[in-house]
């Protein structure tokens, strides 16, 4: 089975800014061509999951109900565009709780794979697409191939001190999808520093 994990904010929708959250349905805006990308992956037989930290719920910034409504808007938008997200997994706990589903821990990756009776094997390594160091560490920790997109929170400058480097770099989700489907060469094929997997 072909699997892709996506972070949400800065990958699928507009990043709300450091320290901020998407707290209202009206503030959720798809990034350009993100819906096209998800449709392409769907058409090519990929099972797509969203894995996102949303600690604003645990901090009391917005409610679980608000998160559910935002998620519903995302899912409906994807469906309307012809794509399919299998399920979105959110960690709503504060960072100090120590939850195993909060990225860069891989609890939600394992839940997603269990839901489809899947596993990560060398021959069928999923992709993890995200816009932060934490996303790249999550992908690495779970054995995924990682794609760092420049459409969200962090850019190339942030990567200088990273121990875990992305497998590939893309402008956005659509370009990352082009890499996955073999339609375009990635910006970078450089492997991780001292923790490369063969």
Asked if the model's pLDDT at residue 195 lies above 60, the reply is no
Asked if the model's pLDDT at residue 20 lies above 80, the reply is yes
Average pLDDT estimate for 154-166: 88
Average pLDDT estimate for 128-140: 97
Task: Grade residue 5 by pLDDT with cuts at 50, 70 and 90.
Answer: very high
Of the chain, the percentage scoring pLDDT greater than 70 comes to: 93
Domain locations along the chain:
2-180
Rounded to the nearest angstrom, the gap between the alpha carbon of residue 197 and the centroid of all alpha carbons in its chain is 20
Asked if the model's pLDDT at residue 91 lies above 60, the reply is yes
Query: What is residue 187's predicted lDDT score, i.e. its pLDDT?
Result: 62
Q: Is the separation of the CB atoms in 191 and 185 below 8 Å?
A: no
Query: What is residue 188's predicted lDDT score, i.e. its pLDDT?
Result: 56
CATH number of 2-180: 3.40.50.1000
Q: Is the separation of the CB atoms in 42 and 83 below 8 Å?
A: yes
Cβ atoms within 10 Å of 57's Cβ, excluding its own: 21
Q: Which residues are designated catalytic? A: 7, 9
């Amino acid at each position: 089975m072909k699997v892709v994990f996506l972070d949400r904010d800065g990958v699928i929708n507009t990043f709300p800014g450091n320290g901020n959250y998407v707290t209202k349905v009206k503030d959720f805006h798809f990034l350009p061509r993100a819906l096209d990308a998800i449709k392409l992956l769907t058409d090519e037989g990929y099972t797509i999951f969203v894995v996102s930290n949303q600690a604003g719920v645990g901090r009391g910034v917005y409610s679980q109900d608000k998160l559910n409504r935002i998620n519903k808007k995302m899912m409906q938008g994807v469906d309307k565009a012809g794509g399919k997200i299998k399920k979105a997994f959110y960690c709503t706990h504060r960072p100090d709780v120590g939850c195993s589903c909060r990225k860069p821990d891989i609890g939600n990756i394992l839940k997603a794979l269990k839901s489809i009776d899947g596993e990560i094997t060398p021959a069928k390594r999923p992709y993890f697409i995200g816009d932060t160091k934490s996303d790249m560490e999550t992908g690495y920790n779970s054995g995924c191939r990682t794609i760092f997109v420049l459409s969200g929170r962090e850019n190339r400058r942030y990567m200088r001190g990273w121990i875990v480097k992305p497998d590939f770099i893309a402008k956005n989700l659509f370009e990352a999808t082009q890499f996955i489907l073999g339609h375009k060469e990635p910006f970078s094929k450089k492997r991780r520093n001292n923790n490369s997997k063969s």
